[in-house]
Structure 1
Amino acid sequence: MEFKDGSIIYPLPDDTLLSEKEGKWRINLPETYKEFIKKYNGGTPIKDSFKCNSHVYAIDRFLCILKVTGERDDEYYDIGVVRTQLDERIVFDENLVGTELLPIAVLFAGDFVCLDYRNNVEEPVVCVWNHEESSDLNPITYIVSNSFEEFLNMLTE
Protein backbone atom coordinates (compact mmCIF):
# COMPACT_ATOMS: atom_id res chain seq x y z
CA MET A 1 0.00 0.00 0.00
CA GLU A 2 1.29 3.46 -0.87
CA PHE A 3 0.93 6.63 1.20
CA LYS A 4 1.50 10.31 0.51
CA ASP A 5 4.98 11.46 1.45
CA GLY A 6 5.27 12.72 5.01
CA SER A 7 1.73 11.68 5.99
CA ILE A 8 2.63 8.83 8.38
CA ILE A 9 2.64 9.98 12.01
CA TYR A 10 5.58 8.97 14.19
CA PRO A 11 6.37 7.36 16.51
CA LEU A 12 4.71 4.23 15.18
CA PRO A 13 2.77 2.35 17.86
CA ASP A 14 4.28 -0.82 19.29
CA ASP A 15 2.60 -3.93 20.70
CA THR A 16 2.70 -2.50 24.24
CA LEU A 17 0.81 0.68 23.26
CA LEU A 18 -1.69 -1.29 21.17
CA SER A 19 -2.35 -3.66 24.07
CA GLU A 20 -2.83 -0.68 26.39
CA LYS A 21 -5.39 0.87 24.01
CA GLU A 22 -7.22 -2.45 23.56
CA GLY A 23 -7.57 -2.69 27.34
CA LYS A 24 -8.82 0.87 27.62
CA TRP A 25 -11.33 0.43 24.80
CA ARG A 26 -12.21 -3.14 25.91
CA ILE A 27 -11.81 -4.60 22.45
CA ASN A 28 -9.37 -6.72 20.47
CA LEU A 29 -8.12 -5.01 17.35
CA PRO A 30 -8.01 -7.27 14.28
CA GLU A 31 -4.48 -8.58 13.62
CA THR A 32 -4.49 -7.14 10.09
CA TYR A 33 -5.36 -3.72 11.52
CA LYS A 34 -2.60 -3.94 14.14
CA GLU A 35 -0.01 -4.79 11.47
CA PHE A 36 -1.33 -1.93 9.33
CA ILE A 37 -1.23 0.70 12.10
CA LYS A 38 2.30 -0.33 13.13
CA LYS A 39 3.49 0.58 9.59
CA TYR A 40 1.15 3.33 8.38
CA ASN A 41 0.04 5.17 11.56
CA GLY A 42 -2.17 8.10 10.53
CA GLY A 43 -1.13 7.96 6.89
CA THR A 44 -2.95 9.36 3.87
CA PRO A 45 -3.30 6.60 1.25
CA ILE A 46 -2.70 7.19 -2.45
CA LYS A 47 -5.63 4.88 -3.21
CA ASP A 48 -8.17 6.70 -1.04
CA SER A 49 -11.63 6.04 -2.53
CA PHE A 50 -14.26 3.36 -1.99
CA LYS A 51 -17.92 2.80 -2.74
CA CYS A 52 -20.60 2.25 -0.12
CA ASN A 53 -24.35 2.68 -0.21
CA SER A 54 -24.32 4.06 -3.79
CA HIS A 55 -21.86 6.75 -2.75
CA VAL A 56 -18.14 7.21 -3.37
CA TYR A 57 -16.18 8.17 -0.26
CA ALA A 58 -12.62 9.50 -0.04
CA ILE A 59 -10.31 8.98 2.91
CA ASP A 60 -8.70 12.18 4.16
CA ARG A 61 -6.35 10.12 6.35
CA PHE A 62 -6.29 7.10 8.58
CA LEU A 63 -6.34 7.90 12.27
CA CYS A 64 -3.29 7.15 14.39
CA ILE A 65 -2.55 5.65 17.79
CA LEU A 66 -0.23 7.76 19.94
CA LYS A 67 0.70 8.27 23.56
CA VAL A 68 -1.25 11.52 23.92
CA THR A 69 0.63 14.21 25.83
CA GLY A 70 -1.16 17.35 24.64
CA GLU A 71 2.11 18.65 23.19
CA ARG A 72 1.71 17.71 19.52
CA ASP A 73 -0.61 19.10 16.84
CA ASP A 74 -0.99 15.70 15.16
CA GLU A 75 -2.63 14.27 18.32
CA TYR A 76 -5.83 15.63 16.77
CA TYR A 77 -5.74 12.49 14.59
CA ASP A 78 -5.36 10.05 17.51
CA ILE A 79 -8.21 7.52 17.70
CA GLY A 80 -8.71 8.13 21.42
CA VAL A 81 -8.93 11.90 20.91
CA VAL A 82 -11.46 11.47 18.08
CA ARG A 83 -13.52 9.01 20.18
CA THR A 84 -13.71 11.59 22.95
CA GLN A 85 -14.77 14.35 20.54
CA LEU A 86 -17.52 12.21 18.99
CA ASP A 87 -18.58 11.01 22.45
CA GLU A 88 -22.25 9.95 22.53
CA ARG A 89 -22.66 10.32 18.77
CA ILE A 90 -20.90 6.94 18.29
CA VAL A 91 -22.51 5.22 21.31
CA PHE A 92 -25.69 3.16 21.13
CA ASP A 93 -26.09 2.54 24.88
CA GLU A 94 -24.82 5.09 27.41
CA ASN A 95 -24.49 2.34 30.03
CA LEU A 96 -22.23 0.19 27.84
CA VAL A 97 -18.71 -0.33 29.09
CA GLY A 98 -16.35 -0.67 26.14
CA THR A 99 -16.41 0.23 22.48
CA GLU A 100 -18.95 -0.57 19.79
CA LEU A 101 -17.73 1.79 17.05
CA LEU A 102 -14.03 2.60 16.80
CA PRO A 103 -13.18 5.37 14.31
CA ILE A 104 -10.13 4.46 12.20
CA ALA A 105 -10.19 6.94 9.29
CA VAL A 106 -11.43 10.46 8.59
CA LEU A 107 -13.46 10.88 5.41
CA PHE A 108 -13.87 14.10 3.48
CA ALA A 109 -16.98 15.98 4.71
CA GLY A 110 -16.85 14.83 8.35
CA ASP A 111 -17.82 11.16 8.27
CA PHE A 112 -15.58 8.38 9.63
CA VAL A 113 -14.67 4.82 8.74
CA CYS A 114 -15.15 2.70 11.88
CA LEU A 115 -14.59 -0.82 13.10
CA ASP A 116 -18.06 -1.97 14.19
CA TYR A 117 -18.01 -4.43 17.11
CA ARG A 118 -21.79 -4.60 17.73
CA ASN A 119 -22.46 -7.99 16.16
CA ASN A 120 -19.07 -9.67 16.55
CA VAL A 121 -16.51 -8.60 19.14
CA GLU A 122 -13.85 -10.87 17.64
CA GLU A 123 -14.23 -9.89 13.99
CA PRO A 124 -15.61 -6.38 13.57
CA VAL A 125 -17.04 -5.26 10.24
CA VAL A 126 -15.98 -1.98 8.67
CA CYS A 127 -18.62 0.73 8.36
CA VAL A 128 -19.07 4.39 7.54
CA TRP A 129 -20.43 6.52 10.40
CA ASN A 130 -22.59 9.31 8.96
CA HIS A 131 -22.19 12.51 11.00
CA GLU A 132 -25.18 14.33 9.49
CA GLU A 133 -27.70 11.57 10.16
CA SER A 134 -26.35 10.57 13.60
CA SER A 135 -27.44 12.01 16.91
CA ASP A 136 -26.67 11.26 20.56
CA LEU A 137 -27.14 7.53 21.27
CA ASN A 138 -28.31 7.03 17.67
CA PRO A 139 -25.29 6.55 15.39
CA ILE A 140 -26.16 5.92 11.75
CA THR A 141 -23.76 3.56 10.00
CA TYR A 142 -23.44 1.80 6.65
CA ILE A 143 -21.51 -1.46 6.35
CA VAL A 144 -18.62 -1.25 3.88
CA SER A 145 -16.92 -4.64 4.27
CA ASN A 146 -16.76 -7.74 6.45
CA SER A 147 -13.15 -7.17 7.52
CA PHE A 148 -10.40 -4.57 7.61
CA GLU A 149 -8.38 -6.52 5.05
CA GLU A 150 -11.35 -6.61 2.68
CA PHE A 151 -11.77 -2.85 3.18
CA LEU A 152 -8.15 -2.16 2.20
CA ASN A 153 -8.63 -4.21 -0.97
CA MET A 154 -11.61 -2.02 -1.93
CA LEU A 155 -9.58 1.20 -2.05
CA THR A 156 -9.03 2.75 -5.48
CA GLU A 157 -7.61 6.00 -6.83
Structure 2
Amino acid sequence: MKLQWETYLWTEPHPVDSWVLDRLEQQWKVKLPELYRELVSAYQGMGPAPCAFDVGTGNDAFSVLLIVSDDREKEAYSINKAHRVLEPHVPAGILPFGLTPGGEYLCFDDRDSPGQPRVVLVTAEMSIRPVADNFTLFMNGLYSG
Protein backbone atom coordinates (compact mmCIF):
# COMPACT_ATOMS: atom_id res chain seq x y z
CA MET A 1 0.00 0.00 0.00
CA LYS A 2 1.30 3.45 -0.87
CA LEU A 3 1.91 5.78 2.04
CA GLN A 4 0.09 9.11 2.03
CA TRP A 5 0.48 12.08 4.35
CA GLU A 6 -2.52 13.78 5.89
CA THR A 7 -2.78 17.19 7.48
CA TYR A 8 -2.58 17.21 11.26
CA LEU A 9 -1.11 20.43 12.68
CA TRP A 10 -1.61 22.70 9.69
CA THR A 11 -3.88 22.72 6.66
CA GLU A 12 -0.91 22.72 4.26
CA PRO A 13 2.66 21.34 4.29
CA HIS A 14 5.43 23.23 6.12
CA PRO A 15 8.67 22.19 4.37
CA VAL A 16 11.97 22.15 6.28
CA ASP A 17 15.30 23.37 4.91
CA SER A 18 18.17 20.88 5.08
CA TRP A 19 20.24 23.23 7.26
CA VAL A 20 17.61 22.85 10.03
CA LEU A 21 18.17 19.08 9.99
CA ASP A 22 21.95 19.58 9.85
CA ARG A 23 21.65 21.73 13.00
CA LEU A 24 19.56 19.03 14.71
CA GLU A 25 22.18 16.39 13.86
CA GLN A 26 24.91 18.60 15.32
CA GLN A 27 22.84 19.29 18.43
CA TRP A 28 22.12 15.59 19.02
CA LYS A 29 25.52 14.40 17.71
CA VAL A 30 23.89 11.84 15.39
CA LYS A 31 23.41 11.08 11.72
CA LEU A 32 19.68 10.95 10.98
CA PRO A 33 18.42 8.29 8.55
CA GLU A 34 18.19 9.66 5.01
CA LEU A 35 14.57 8.54 4.60
CA TYR A 36 13.64 10.40 7.79
CA ARG A 37 15.37 13.55 6.51
CA GLU A 38 13.39 13.31 3.27
CA LEU A 39 10.06 12.72 5.00
CA VAL A 40 10.36 15.34 7.74
CA SER A 41 11.61 17.88 5.19
CA ALA A 42 8.32 17.55 3.31
CA TYR A 43 5.82 16.31 5.91
CA GLN A 44 6.65 17.63 9.39
CA GLY A 45 3.48 18.05 11.45
CA MET A 46 1.57 15.60 9.25
CA GLY A 47 0.40 12.04 9.85
CA PRO A 48 0.96 8.97 7.68
CA ALA A 49 -1.81 6.80 6.27
CA PRO A 50 -1.80 3.93 6.85
CA CYS A 51 -0.47 4.48 10.37
CA ALA A 52 -0.71 1.23 12.39
CA PHE A 53 2.41 -0.59 13.57
CA ASP A 54 3.10 -3.62 15.76
CA VAL A 55 4.64 -3.26 19.19
CA GLY A 56 4.99 -6.05 21.72
CA THR A 57 1.86 -8.17 21.68
CA GLY A 58 -0.39 -5.51 20.16
CA ASN A 59 -0.38 -2.54 17.88
CA ASP A 60 -0.41 1.24 18.03
CA ALA A 61 -0.67 4.13 15.58
CA PHE A 62 1.74 6.77 14.29
CA SER A 63 -0.26 10.02 14.61
CA VAL A 64 2.13 12.80 13.69
CA LEU A 65 5.69 13.44 12.61
CA LEU A 66 7.12 15.88 15.18
CA ILE A 67 8.12 19.28 13.84
CA VAL A 68 11.75 20.35 13.61
CA SER A 69 11.19 23.98 12.66
CA ASP A 70 10.49 26.63 15.29
CA ASP A 71 6.80 27.35 15.81
CA ARG A 72 5.78 28.58 19.26
CA GLU A 73 2.11 27.86 18.64
CA LYS A 74 2.90 24.20 17.92
CA GLU A 75 5.61 23.74 20.56
CA ALA A 76 3.77 20.74 22.05
CA TYR A 77 4.67 18.94 18.80
CA SER A 78 8.28 20.12 18.70
CA ILE A 79 11.02 17.51 18.44
CA ASN A 80 13.18 19.58 20.80
CA LYS A 81 10.44 19.81 23.44
CA ALA A 82 9.84 16.06 23.19
CA HIS A 83 13.57 15.47 23.62
CA ARG A 84 13.63 17.68 26.75
CA VAL A 85 10.68 15.74 28.19
CA LEU A 86 12.29 12.35 27.55
CA GLU A 87 15.93 13.14 28.30
CA PRO A 88 15.77 12.76 32.12
CA HIS A 89 13.92 9.43 31.85
CA VAL A 90 15.57 7.47 29.03
CA PRO A 91 19.17 6.60 28.13
CA ALA A 92 21.19 8.92 25.91
CA GLY A 93 20.68 8.04 22.25
CA ILE A 94 16.87 7.76 22.42
CA LEU A 95 15.66 10.52 20.11
CA PRO A 96 11.97 11.29 19.42
CA PHE A 97 10.52 11.75 15.93
CA GLY A 98 6.78 10.99 16.24
CA LEU A 99 3.76 10.71 18.50
CA THR A 100 1.02 8.13 18.98
CA PRO A 101 -2.64 8.97 19.73
CA GLY A 102 -1.95 8.21 23.41
CA GLY A 103 0.92 10.71 23.59
CA GLU A 104 3.67 8.11 23.57
CA TYR A 105 6.84 8.78 21.60
CA LEU A 106 8.21 7.03 18.55
CA CYS A 107 11.97 7.35 18.78
CA PHE A 108 15.23 6.50 17.15
CA ASP A 109 17.46 4.30 19.29
CA ASP A 110 20.94 5.36 18.24
CA ARG A 111 22.76 3.57 21.08
CA ASP A 112 23.89 0.41 19.27
CA SER A 113 23.88 1.33 15.58
CA PRO A 114 24.78 5.00 15.00
CA GLY A 115 23.62 6.23 11.60
CA GLN A 116 21.14 3.35 11.25
CA PRO A 117 19.12 3.56 14.48
CA ARG A 118 16.39 1.17 15.48
CA VAL A 119 12.85 2.46 16.04
CA VAL A 120 11.41 2.14 19.53
CA LEU A 121 8.30 3.25 21.36
CA VAL A 122 8.75 5.10 24.65
CA THR A 123 5.59 4.52 26.65
CA ALA A 124 3.89 6.88 29.09
CA GLU A 125 5.65 4.92 31.85
CA MET A 126 8.98 5.62 30.08
CA SER A 127 9.60 1.98 29.21
CA ILE A 128 11.28 1.36 25.85
CA ARG A 129 9.69 -1.15 23.49
CA PRO A 130 11.32 -2.27 20.22
CA VAL A 131 9.33 -1.60 17.05
CA ALA A 132 11.62 -2.02 14.00
CA ASP A 133 15.28 -2.63 13.18
CA ASN A 134 15.46 0.66 11.25
CA PHE A 135 13.36 3.59 10.06
CA THR A 136 12.89 2.27 6.52
CA LEU A 137 11.50 -1.04 7.80
CA PHE A 138 9.24 0.86 10.19
CA MET A 139 7.79 3.09 7.48
CA ASN A 140 7.42 0.20 5.03
CA GLY A 141 5.64 -1.84 7.71
CA LEU A 142 2.87 0.66 8.48
CA TYR A 143 -0.56 -0.82 7.79
CA SER A 144 -4.27 -0.07 8.14
CA GLY A 145 -5.42 -1.01 11.61
Decide: shared fold, TM above 0.5: yes
Give the TM bin, normalised by the shorter chain.
0.7 to 0.9
User: Cα RMSD over matched residues?
Assistant: 1.8
1:127 partnered with 2:130? no
Aligned to 2:143: 156
Q: Tell me which structure has the larger Cα radius of gyration.
A: 1
Normalising by structure 2, what TM-score? 0.87
Partner SS, residue 4 of structure 1: strand
- Say how many residue pairs are matched: 141
Offset, 1:43? 0.8
The answer to whether 1:107 aligns with 2:100 is yes
In structure 1, the gaps of 5 or more residues are: 93-98, 135-139
Alignment match of 2:50 (pick from 40, 47, 52): 47
**Mapping 1:1-157, distance limit 5 Å:** 1-5=3-7, 7=9, 11-67=14-70, 72-90=72-90, 92=91, 99-132=92-125, 134=126, 140-157=127-144
Distance 1:123 1:129 in 2: 18
Q: Matched residues in 2 for 1:7 and 1:77: separation?
A: 9
Superposed CA offset, 1:45-64 (max 9, x none): 22111111111101221111
Q: Deviations over 1:77-115 (max 9, x none)?
A: 11111111223112x2xxxxxx50111111122321100
In the TM superposition, what is the alpha-carbon distance from 1:10 to its structure 2 partner?
A: 5.2
Under a length normalisation based on structure 1, what TM-score does the superposition of the two structures give?
Answer: 0.81
On the 8 A contact 1:66/1:75 being kept in 2, the answer is no
Residue aligned with 1:64, SS: coil
Aligned equivalents of 1:56, 1:118: Cα separation in 2 = 24
